[in-house]
């Protein structure tokens, strides 16, 4: 079975034969002028199903850069243009118009762009359908010549690269905020334990007083948590903390009223259940703070 030959290989062979005399003349001219810059070949390969391909020969010229180009399979009005970029990231800005490649399949022209500027590794030859610069049907990257640093194609709408060693902007200020919020949660836990201890002694008056004190503390915590600056990465947890304080303050008020005014067992039971549920929210906020501490590598005891 015969081996399949890619069209671009055939084109390169044909073009090499066609361009040999031109290359020889360019080499002779270089020798006469003392220039050591050799012409370079640029394969142009198809983008998409149209199968258009080609090859170009670039060499220095007094007026800029001489371009010899051969295209294969180009339909009517196919235009060759030089752009900045890479074949997968073409800057649509036109650098130089090479011409229509569909009439004879060949172009011989000189463009007013210095050879060294084109051969910096940051330019491409692109075939377009007419002057539709947003559509590319074939592309070839112009390689960098010896002595020219090839820094690769320029970035085209690329997001900035985040230094892995740089701190996450969402974690700035999180350590202090976590410490302050955890201190409030610890205070709430202490007050809840105190109220539970008093209630266990069946001292109704003292329990009511403890609940009133807890409600006042919670209202003050809502104000402080709402007024203090919140780091960007802690917004959701901060809102959850405020909601938990408000829920527990409301449940504490209902429990206090049931304890001091209500004789309805059902109302008292509902108030006690709401109090328990609101107290559980404090634990959820604590777990959220622990997760945030881990995400931002906040050490314990900050």
Lookup result for tokens 């055939």: 10
Alpha carbons 16 and 147: distance in angstroms, whole number: 25
- 66 forms beta bridges with 59, 110
Distances (CA, A) of 149 to 60, 94, 143, 233: 18, 23, 11, 42
Which of 17, 72, 18, 61 minimizes the C-alpha distance to 39?
Answer: 61
pTM of the model: 0.43
52-91, pLDDT tens digit by residue?
888 899 999 988 999 998 888 888 888 999 999 999 999 9
Classified as helix, coil or strand, 261 is coil
- The residue with greater pLDDT, 143 or 195, is 143
pLDDT-derived band at 300, boundaries 50, 70, 90: low
pLDDT(140) > 90: yes
Going by C-alpha positions, the residue among 140, 137, 105 that lies closest to residue 119 is 140
DSSP-assigned states of every residue in 41-95: EEEEEE-STT--EEEEEEEEETTEEEEEEEEES--TTEEEEEEEEETTEEEEEEE
- The answer to whether 83 and 128 have CB atoms below 8 angstroms apart is no
Please give the pLDDT value at position 216. 85
């Amino acid at each position: 079975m015969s081996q399949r030959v890619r069209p671009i290989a055939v084109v390169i062979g044909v073009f090499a034969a066609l361009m040999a005399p031109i290359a020889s003349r360019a080499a002779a001219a270089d020798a006469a002028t003392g220039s050591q810059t050799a012409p370079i070949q640029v394969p142009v390969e198809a983008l998409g199903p149209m199968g258009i391909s080609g090859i170009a020969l670039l060499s220095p010229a007094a007026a800029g850069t001489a371009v010899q180009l051969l295209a294969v399979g180009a339909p009517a009005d196919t235009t060759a243009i030089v752009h900045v970029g890479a074949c997968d990231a073409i800057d649509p800005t036109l650098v130089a118009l090479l011409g229509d490649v569909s009439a004879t399949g060949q172009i011989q022209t000189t463009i007013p762009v210095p050879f060294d500027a084109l051969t910096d590794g940051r330019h491409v030859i692109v075939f377009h359908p007419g002057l539709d610069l947003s559509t590319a049907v074939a592309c070839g990257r112009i390689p960098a010549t010896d002595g020219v640093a090839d820094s690769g194609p320029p970035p085209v709408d690329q997001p900035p690269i985040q230094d892995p060693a740089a701190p996450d902007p969402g974690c700035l200020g999180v350590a202090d905020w976590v410490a302050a919020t955890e201190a409030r949660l610890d205070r709430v836990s202490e007050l809840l334990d105190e109220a539970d201890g008093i209630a266990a002694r069946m001292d109704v008056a003292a329990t009511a007083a403890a609940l009133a004190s807890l409600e006042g503390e919670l209202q003050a915590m809502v104000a402080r948590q709402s007024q203090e600056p919140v780091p960007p990465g802690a917004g959701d947890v901060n809102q959850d903390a405020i909601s938990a304080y408000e829920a527990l303050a409301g449940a504490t008020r209902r429990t206090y009223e049931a304890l001091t005014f209500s004789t309805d067992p059902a109302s008292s039971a509902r108030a006690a259940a709401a109090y328990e549920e609101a107290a559980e929210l404090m634990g959820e906020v604590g777990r959220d703070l622990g997760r945030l501490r881990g995400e931002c590598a906040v050490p314990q005891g900050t």
